[in-house]
Amino acid sequence: MAAETPVDSALDEVRRAVATAMQQFGPDYWREQDANKTFPTEFFDTIGEAGYFGTFIPEVYGGVDAGARVASVLVEEINRAGGDASSVNAQMAICRTLVLHGTEEQKQRYLPGVASGEIRFLTVAATEPDSGANMNELVSTARRDGDAWVLNASKVLISFAAHTRLMILLARAEEGTTLFLLDLEEAGDSVEMHPIDMVAHRMTSSLFIDELRVSDSARIGPVGEGLPCLMKGFVIRRVLAAAEAIGNARFLLDRSIDYAKTRKTFDELIGVNQGIQYPLVQAYMKVEAADLMRWDVLRLVDAGRDAVPRSAMAKVLASEAAWETTRAALTTFGGWGLASEYHVERKLREGTVYVFNNLLMNLIGDRALGLPKKG
Ligand SMILES: Cc1cc2nc3c(=O)[nH]c(=O)nc-3n(C[C@H](O)[C@H](O)[C@H](O)COP(=O)(O)OP(=O)(O)OC[C@H]3O[C@@H](n4cnc5c(N)ncnc54)[C@H](O)[C@@H]3O)c2cc1C
């Protein structure tokens, strides 16, 4: 039984449509994509054809402007069906920076193709080898050269870099951090990528940019305001991450409950044991509570109110609930939880992506509790 979510027939419609679409892309499809580290092109194109990539794009640029509730249900349901919504999440949400801060020319040129899925826009390149979580200390630079810019960058842990056409690059200009929209079809060999071998998010790369010259029309937002422009998208990114984690947790709960009701040892269903039941009950309660926080964030977003601290709380609670659910699933499946055919170990690996929460705790300590910040 799912949490008391808002009664909304449009959202029910999205849930039904995704469930139907996911019949073609069941857990075994995802097991294969994961093992081969391939981009799920067929799945991605199917979601694009259904019009979902335009969820945050205004109709005037070819989108449907359906908003954050629809986006969150979409990614949750993909994961709940055993899929990996990360590419859909990225395609829907990253373009919001362009919608909010892009020029008219950039929006007209790219957004209709992003909405249809013809143009992949999957990547923000911000993290660097030496700065990591601290994006104020960038070594990647943007140097003015007449009317143009010359970019030099060294970025790590960049998702889908080798599978995207558009990428937002965060670099440091003289005035401060600045965003650039890179069309990788036009970037030539100034951009070099190397895959990083990861247990999850297996299409992640390092990225080096050497003296790439771009015109000022590639800049997004004001010079020196790159980080604040990027951060305006973080509330939605967090709520979508929370929804993805909730989807993963529900997939594992559904499977574990089913297994506990059918698997017999010593002539008895394993589900009769408190050692199996309690971890599932605990996990279920935490997922339901995190889901309520997810809907509360969406309420604040819709009302145009400050959702920053609560979005951080929703993401932390959902990712931790999903992590606990994975542990409960492993207890339920025993040794078979580690066999790829049961999909628990894949979701265990995918769940690791969400549990880096320290900086969100800092944010909650600061914004919700008013605790002192480090100097
Ligand atoms: C699967 C995956 C995909 C990613 N995709 C992208 C992407 O597409 N684009 C992109 O730009 N980046 C991406 N990242 C990078 C991600 O944003 C970084 O991992 C993150 O910014 C932290 O940087 P770091 O890993 O170098 O850790 P570090 O900065 O070295 O930090 C190490 C640990 O110390 C903690 N820590 C650091 N400072 C503090 C502090 N002040 N208080 C408390 N704890 C602290 C961190 O939380 C972390 O747990 C991705 C990462 C992963 C794992």
Please check whether residues 199 and 91 belong to one and the same domain: no
Instruction: Say what the pLDDT of residue 202 is.
Output: 87
Instruction: Say what the pLDDT of residue 2 is.
Output: 52
Instruction: Say what the pLDDT of residue 131 is.
Output: 81
Instruction: Say what the pLDDT of residue 132 is.
Output: 72
- Ligand 1 in reach of 75 Cβ (< 6 A): no
Q: How does the average pLDDT of the chain come out, rounded?
A: 95
Instruction: Say what the pLDDT of residue 259 is.
Output: 98
Please check whether residues 217 and 300 belong to one and the same domain: no
Report yes or no on 351 lying in a domain: yes
User: Which residue type occupies 250?
Assistant: R
- The structure tokens listed for 370 are 């008013």
Instruction: Say what the pLDDT of residue 227 is.
Output: 96
Please check whether residues 207 and 237 belong to one and the same domain: no
Please check whether residues 266 and 290 belong to one and the same domain: yes
Report yes or no on 144 lying in a domain: yes
Choosing from 199, 224, 249, the residue where a domain stops is: 224
Q: Tell me the per-residue pLDDT of 273-328, one tens digit each, with 9 for 90 and over.
A: 999 999 999 999 999 999 999 999 999 999 999 999 999 999 999 999 999 999 99
Q: Tell me the per-residue pLDDT of 2-48, one tens digit each, with 9 for 90 and over.
A: 554 556 888 999 999 999 999 999 999 999 999 999 999 999 999 99
Please check whether residues 78 and 162 belong to one and the same domain: no
Q: Tell me the per-residue pLDDT of 91-123, one tens digit each, with 9 for 90 and over.
A: 999 999 999 999 999 999 999 999 999 999 999
Please check whether residues 182 and 241 belong to one and the same domain: no
Bridge partner list, 219: 180
The answer to whether residue 188 scores a pLDDT higher than 70 is yes
CA separation for the pair 375, 366 (Å, rounded)? 13
- Would you state the torsion angle of the CA atoms of residues 45, 46, 47, 48, taken in this order, to the nearest 10 degrees? 50
CA separation for the pair 226, 239 (Å, rounded)? 22
* Residue partners of 63: CB distance under 8 A and separation at least 6: 53, 54, 55, 56, 57, 111, 115
Instruction: Say what the pLDDT of residue 19 is.
Output: 94
- Residue of 315, 316, 356 with the most ligand 1 atoms within 8 Å of its CB, for mutation: 356
What is the domain range of residue 332?
233-367
Instruction: Say what the pLDDT of residue 1 is.
Output: 47
Atom of ligand 1 nearest to the CA of 160: 8
Instruction: Say what the pLDDT of residue 5 is.
Output: 59
Report yes or no on 209 lying in a domain: yes
Please check whether residues 336 and 217 belong to one and the same domain: no
pTM recorded for the entire structure: 0.96
- Ligand 1 in reach of 89 Cβ (< 6 A): no
The answer to whether residue 225 scores a pLDDT higher than 80 is yes
Please check whether residues 265 and 346 belong to one and the same domain: yes
Phi/psi at 190 (5° precision): -75, -15
Please check whether residues 239 and 217 belong to one and the same domain: no
From the CB of residue 298, how many other CB atoms can be counted at a distance below 10 Å? 26
Q: Tell me the per-residue pLDDT of 231-267, one tens digit each, with 9 for 90 and over.
A: 999 999 999 999 999 999 999 999 999 999 999 999 9
Alpha helices for the chain (secondary structure H):
9-22, 27-36, 41-49, 68-80, 86-93, 96-101, 104-116, 226-231, 234-262, 274-302, 308-333, 344-352, 358-367
Instruction: Say what the pLDDT of residue 154 is.
Output: 97
Give the distance from CA 298 to its chain's centroid: 16
- Mean pLDDT, residues 348-369: 96
Please check whether residues 359 and 306 belong to one and the same domain: yes
Please check whether residues 259 and 297 belong to one and the same domain: yes
- Ligand 1 in reach of 111 Cβ (< 6 A): no
The answer to whether residue 63 scores a pLDDT higher than 50 is yes
Q: Tell me the per-residue pLDDT of 119-165, one tens digit each, with 9 for 90 and over.
A: 999 999 999 998 877 777 899 999 999 999 999 999 999 999 999 99
Please check whether residues 99 and 193 belong to one and the same domain: no
- Ligand 1 in reach of 201 Cβ (< 6 A): yes
Q: How many domains does the chain have?
A: 3
Name the E strands within 216-312. 219-220, 264-265, 268-269
